[in-house]
Structure 1
Amino acid sequence: MELNAAARAAFDAMSEGITIIDTDGIIVFGNRAYRNFLNKEAGGDIGPIEGYRLRDLRPGARLPDVLEKGKPILHQTRQEIQDFYFVNMYPIYEGERLIGGISVVTFLEDAYQAKEELEAAEARSKQVLRRLNKANGARYTFDDIVAVSPEAMRVKELAQRIAATEATVLLESESGTGKELYAQAIHNASARSAGVFVAINCANFNANMLESELFGYAEGAFTGAKRGGKMGLFEAAAGGTLFLDEISEMDIGLQAKLLRVLQERRVRPVGGLKEVDVDVRVIAACNADLPQYVRDGKFRKDLYYRLSTFPLHIPPLRERPADISPLANSILNELSHKLRRPFTLTDDAVECLQAHDWPGNVRELRNALEFSAYLTPSGVISRAALPSDLLRQHEDAGLTLAQRTRNFEKREIRRLLDKNGTGLEGKKKTAAQLGISLASLYNKLNASEF
């Protein structure tokens, strides 16, 4: 077996010690790093080593064992008089014919240097992750949660106590109540605040896609899989918090895999053979009735109990009217910074906001105020500047069902007449769209003030 000049030059450039022997155990090549190692051990220059039997120079050498078995020997640690090193040994085949063996020696000094470089790279990565986390991840703290009513204050205080633990948290509440706001606040008040906060909405993925997103996948796991595989969110959130929103919509089969991850703290990537340890705190959230889902067989009972170690129910806005005004002021302060002009609410606007039942909760309140802010150049938001849906409900407050029905009829007739016109043809079209006769329409117009 012979090496050309290019191969010799490449091996000589390496810091690892390289030794190549033929099938008789004769040294075919030893690179500069390996010869320096031998000279150091011998206390002087031992001269050329090629052509000598390896075990004549090093009686304990195990590279010849590789020739006997035809299989590699990996991750061996050896210690000589002055040096400690790691060695991997491989057989060399030409087709199916064994023609020799090669050993690769990594010296302790190089291993330490590599370890220090890896640690430095890891530290830099953690700094980048912290900056990304603060910029794009968990931005909110408990200072951002407005809680004036006793109901909201109790939930906020409980969440602050839970944040100090490592327990899994389940946020159960209606849509728009601020579940992710609470999840971020819990993360930032926990011992994991320096780690990343990763959020995923389980309702946005089918079962297979969600599994690969959460657990990652190995190379070749499925058609279209990325070369080298992909890290899952459980690994990406290591040392931090993983927020699973809309967990009620997770496939029942995937729920079993999630339960095992929560119990074992290990994940197996899709198509992978090895499990990976994960150190993640999980916060789950849903706006569905999970106990009812359990009864209906759509959610695993064991997973529900595992998630609900600390259940937190965020009350809807209609159950805490005392929070509406301070919440509105907080939102308007944000809008003031965004639009660079101050905003205030008139008393009649506040009264109208408090009369609304807010089915969309805080999200709906934010949308209503943003709508009003954009349409109010003066910055003073009065009742008239609020969305029409809020005004209609305010008008109907305190009325009987018959009175509310009449008001609804008036609004619909007015809307269609505005669209179709108040002439004869417009009235005919309006009556047809309402499913009543033209005479009935005239009766309603005569009985109401338009």
Structure 2
Amino acid sequence: MTIISLPMKDPVYHEWEKFLSTGNPYTCKARQQIIESWARCYHEGIDPYDDNIHHWLDDLSLSEVLKRKEKLIEAAKPFMSRLYEFFKGSGFIVVLTDENGCILAMVCDEDTRQNPMTKYFYPGVSWKEETVGTNAIGTVIKLREPLQVSGAEHYCKKIHAFSCSAASIYDCDGQITGVLNISYAFHASHLHALGIVTVIADAVTAQLSMSQKNCEIALINKRMASLKNTVSDGVLIVDNHEAVIEINPAGRAMLGKPEQHIIGTELRQLFDGKSGEILTSSKSYHQVEIIVDAHGGSRHFAASREPVFNEQDVLAGGIIVLRPIKQLKHMAQRSSGDAAVLQFNDIIGESFQIREAVHVATRAANTAANVLLTGESGTGKEIFAQAIHNHSDRHNGPFVAVNCGAIPRELIGSELFGYDEGAFTGAKRGGKPGKFELASGGTLFFDEIGDMPPEQQTALLRVIQERKVTRIGSDKIIPIDIRLICATNKNLLEEVNKGTFRLDLYYRLHVLSILIPPLRERREDIQLLFDHFLERVSRAQGCTFAVQSEVMTYLHRYYWPGNVRELQNVVEHAACLAEDKVISVELLPEVLYAQSSLMKIAVPQVNEVIFTREQRQKMAGFAERNRIIAKLDAFAGNVSRAAKELGISRNTLYKKMRLYAIKN
């Protein structure tokens, strides 16, 4: 197993750093259980940067604990072995602890056992919250409820590389007697790990209390009711005839049917066509896409199944878990880093130009209108895009970024629209959702929109108008709900004049336009930005830097063709070379103090676009038509509200709708 710690890709990492620097839990944006645990660890004085293991039982003490917990180990080991077989070869570690968080047993692959990081999982090591900070095992003991802790949610940095899912095992008196835990690499997150470990922990609990039947029944009913009613996944339990014998509330909501119409019904009767064939397979499967026709249209789910066998090892049915595709997208984005983590307060600057841009962007965030961000490379357009998303009512939805200039022309169609299985040679089994689908319910950010090929511009225009997509190789229409933010460093009107960009698409995107000023036009922000980047480098290197006064003179005189990104690179460059931790002029890149570069570089000229009178009239018509469409879209077709917002009467608006052939 290769464990790679990538905390900077974890959006919680920023909140973790912020908490450690202030100790104030009220400013952090993390789950409540995690924030409360961080606060406990902070007050306990736990060192979050300590890599050592301080609480490890000696052989004598460990043997005494193992003897005391013999019944627990005996009951849990068969389940741990079955659980290991389920995850075998994937680098997962199955761990059993006592009620104090002391590891009693662990099961994993041999190559995982050889990994240095697994030193934290050997028998005798304590995982109490008071010793290693926030973690699934120790915090579950505190909370008495199942919990998953991922990446930087752990209080101690040494275990940021892991995601852990744990659930308590109870004795017949309802007291915690142990904890079952699954640990795995942060980047290898498993959708159903917490649900699986909870069910297995319940099974161990039941096994322990087998001799006291009444206690067993009470515990299982209580835990299963809690599990069924709280998990957001749909859970269906079927017998050996593929008839549903149990379903949780989330599953009923997904199918859009009352319980009496589901219990006792075979899967083929509940699910039509291909979906029914997939679900009735007696073999295990994982994250297979199915489509359910329910009230309100078709819905897409990822289905996983595990067969259930009786004591004679004869198939007795199965457990099927359904999860909406939208939730899977959220998890994928969280693990991959494709998420919006930046806010407006991450935009550094006090100049009028940047404050005005932030003001307009803040207003834009409170609308549903499309936004066009313009500015030179390196000015921070994506920061604005993320901030607008996080400040909008879509902040809980996905943020999907697409660089139009980085995708090969022949692949951009499948990237945007996705494809069905068998659509072309090399297509993935089960197909693949496109960026439009992935962004549904949130924001789709097109960077370098000016580089989008003309044929895809036409397709994008159609999607904006219809709010529907069809995957390549499919005829099934998928409704989407997205907010578009686009960015460009080009003069799009000039591209329109050249014939490389559609005028009607330009006006669709140009509902709200925000110009991000170049750094040379806000020189009063150079000092602030320099200090900000230097502080970040200082924190990363664990030291402080002195800066010669002449350095700022050169920085203020330089032209900054690469804008804020170039300034950041200059700071990092100088800090790396500063052996004595003093940043001097000599450490700056040569281009900054070469006389030829000081305010003598030619200013890039924005190409002026000249239109004929007829073109200007046509453009004005397009502009007015698109403003009307945008307002009608914003108010869900309400003509009165749209007219009021446009400052015209309803009759005038109806006339213009007829003039421009706008259907409401």
Which interval holds the TM-score relative to the shorter structure?
0.5 to 0.7
How many angstroms apart in 2 are the aligned matches of 1:374 and 1:154?
Answer: 34
Q: How does 1:53-68 map to 2 (within 5 A)?
A: none
Shift of 1:168: 1.2
1:390 partner SS: helix
Distance (Å, rounded) in 2 between the aligned partners of 1:89 and 1:196: 29
Quote the residue 1:14 is aligned against.
241
Q: CA deviation at 1:85?
A: 6.2
**Is 1:290 equivalent to 2:517 in the alignment?**
no
Aligned length: 308
Residues in 2 aligned to 1:395 and 1:259: alpha-carbon distance in whole angstroms: 43
TM-score normalised per structure 2 = 0.43
Hey, what's the Cα distance between the residues in 2 that align with 1:331 and 1:81? 61
Residues 130, 80 of structure 1: CA spacing in aligned structure 2 closer, same or farther, 3 A cutoff?
A: closer
SS in 2 for 1:143: helix
Residue ranges of structure 2 left out of the alignment (5+ in a row)? 1-237, 246-254, 273-302, 304-318, 602-664
* In the alignment, structure 1 residue 280 sits paired with structure 2 residue 507: no
Matching residue within 439, 444, 448 for 1:237: 439
- Partner of residue 196 from structure 1, selected from 381, 392, 398: 398
Residue 84 of structure 1 deviates from its aligned partner by 9.6
Q: Distance in 2 between matches of 1:189 and 1:221?
A: 38
Aligned-partner Cα distance in 2 for 1:322–1:390: 18
CA distance in 2, matches of 1:138, 1:82: 40
Partner of 1:407: none
Distance 1:227 1:118, change over 3 A: closer
2:509 partner amino acid: L
Match of 1:318 in 2: 520
* Aligned equivalents of 1:201, 1:168: Cα separation in 2: 17
Once the two structures are superposed, residues 266-289 of structure 1 have per-residue CA deviations (whole angstroms, 9 ceiling, x without a partner) of 111112111101112111111111
Let me know the Cα RMSD of the aligned residues: 3.5
Contact 2:338/2:400 (CA < 8 Å) preserved in 1? no
SS of equivalent to 1:389: helix
> Residue by residue, what CA displacement relative to the aligned partner does 1:201-246 show, whole Å, maximum 9, x if unpaired?
1111233311111110112222221222111011112222111111
Q: Does 1:128 align with 2:355?
A: no
Match of 1:345 in 2: 547
Secondary structure of 1:241's aligned partner: strand
Counterpart in the other structure of 1:180: 382
* Cα pair distance change 1:16/1:380, threshold 3 Å: same
Change in 2 beyond 3 A, CA 1:201/1:121:
closer
Alignment gaps of 5+ in structure 1: 1-10, 18-32, 34-74, 91-113, 400-450
Map of 2:152 onto structure 1: none
The 1:152–1:256 alpha-carbon spacing in structure 2 relative to 1, beyond 3 Å, is same
Give 1:125 shift: 4.2
Deviations 1:25-50 (A, max 9, x none): xxxxxxxx9xxxxxxxxxxxxxxxxx
Q: Which residue of 1 aligns with 2:21?
A: none
Amino acid at match of 1:207: R
**CA 1:89 to 1:241, structure 2 compared with 1: closer, same or farther past 3 Å?**
closer
Instruction: Answer 1 or 2: higher relative contact order, Cα 8 Å, separation at least 6.
Output: 1
CA distance in 2, matches of 1:252, 1:383: 47
AA aligned to 1:298 is T
- The worse-fitting range, judged by mean Cα deviation, of 222-231 and 357-366 is 222-231
Task: After superposition, give the CA deviation of every residue in 1:103-157 in whole Å (9 maximum; x if it has no partner).
Answer: xxxxxxxxxxx9x986777796477367448x55212111110121111110011
Distance (Å, rounded) in 2 between the aligned partners of 1:378 and 1:123: 51
SS at match of 1:185: helix
Compared CA separation, residues 78 and 352, structure 1 to 2 (3 A): closer
For 1:374, the equivalent position in structure 2 comes to 576
Alignment of 1:411-430 (within 5 A): none
Query: CA 1:164–1:255 in 2, change beyond 3 Å: closer, same or farther?
Result: same
Which of 229, 233, 248 matches 2:450? 248
Query: Tell me, what secondary structure is at the counterpart of 2:372?
Result: strand
| Displacement of 1:179 | 0.8
C-alpha distance in structure 2 between counterparts of 1:290 and 1:307, whole Å:
11
Q: Contact 1:242 / 1:280 at 8 angstroms: preserved in 2? A: yes
SS in 1 for 2:560: coil
Contact 2:448–2:489, Cα closer than 8 Å, also in 1:
yes
Distance 1:249 1:234 in 2: 18
Equivalent residue number for residue 150 of structure 1: 352
Q: Does 1:165 align with 2:367?
A: yes
For the structure 1 residues 398 and 201, does the alpha-carbon distance in structure 2 shift closer, same or farther, using more than 3 Å as the test?
A: closer
**Structure 2 CA distance for aligned equivalents of residues 127 and 80 of structure 1:** 32
* Alpha-carbon offset, residue 89 of structure 1: 11
Superposed CA offset, 1:369-390 (max 9, x none): 1110100123331222211110
AA of the residue aligned to 1:231: P
Give 1:345 shift. 2.9
Distance 1:15 1:154, change over 3 A: same
User: Percent sequence identity over matched residues?
Assistant: 42
Q: Aligned equivalents of 1:346 and 1:82: distance in 2?
A: 75
Distance 1:88 1:336 in 2: 60
1:404 matched to which residue of 2?
none
Return closer, same or farther for 1:215/1:379 CA change in 2, 3 Å cut-off: same
Q: Deviations over 1:362-407 (max 9, x none)?
A: 11111111110100123331222211110114885699xxxxxxxx
Q: Which residue is 1:309 aligned to?
A: 511
**Contact map agreement 2:243 2:263 (CA 8 A) in 1:** no
Structure with max Cα Rg:
1
Q: Provide the rounded CA distance (Å) in 1 between the counterparts of 2:420 and 2:329.
A: 24
2:361–2:388: 8 Å Cα contact kept in structure 1?
Answer: yes
Distance 1:379 1:318, change over 3 A: same
When residues 118 and 300 of structure 1 are mapped into structure 2, their CA distance, relative to the original with a 3 A threshold, is: farther
3-state SS of paired residue (1:276): strand
